[in-house]
Amino acid sequence: EDRVIVHDPLWQAWENPFPEQNTALHLIVSPKRHVVDSTLLTSEEWMVLREVLRKLKDLFSYTSRGVLMRDGDATLSAGTIEHLHIHIMVPNGTGRVESPFYKGAEDEEKGVRRAIVYEKVRQGQQLTLEDTDLVKDRL
């Protein structure tokens, strides 16, 4: 069964068979050409991606979404495949939508702590010395 929603010469999109919790819709958009890093996309691929994103928005009529791009080393970006792909996640309003950016049990606690620190930064809150030390190489 073909689950691809958008067929394009450069891109394809389909519903994620393993959607994140609290999403009404979770789509995957991927270039057809094997690319592992977004900086390797051509100008044409970027322009067509914009059109694919518009088609998806028109098709599903969502007004809000989260967009997550996974590229590069999948072991570091919590990806499961070594291929550039973009997650489009539409929240269902029942709870927080989360998507991991880290891998490995030993890194889980640090990843959660970093996410909390990034939220503090986003909200303009003061960071503790411990917070700053945890993310100093990532800010």
Q: Where are the domains of the chain?
A: 4-100, 104-139
Q: How many CB atoms are closer than 10 A to CB 115?
A: 14
Structure token pair of residue 112: 């959660």
Q: For the domain 4-100, what is the CATH code?
A: 3.30.428.10
What pLDDT was estimated at residue 139?
Answer: 45
Rg (CA), the chain: 17
d(CA 89, CA 66): 5
What pLDDT was estimated at residue 98?
Answer: 80
**Structure-model confidence comparison of residues 13 and 18, the more confident one:** 13
pLDDT digits (tens, 9 = 90+) for 15-53: 887 788 899 999 999 999 999 899 999 999 999 999 999
Taking alpha carbons only, the member of 3, 1, 16 closest to residue 88 is 16
pLDDT digits (tens, 9 = 90+) for 84-122: 889 999 999 999 888 766 556 566 566 667 667 756 765
Model pTM? Answer: 0.69
Q: Read off the DSSP letter of residue 38.
A: G
Q: Read off the DSSP letter of residue 104.
A: S
pLDDT digits (tens, 9 = 90+) for 46-91: 999 999 999 999 999 999 999 988 777 666 666 556 788 899 999 9
The conformational region for residue 116 under phi > 0 = left, psi -120 to 50 = alpha, else beta, is: alpha
Q: Are the beta carbons of 90 and 25 closer than 8 angstroms?
A: yes
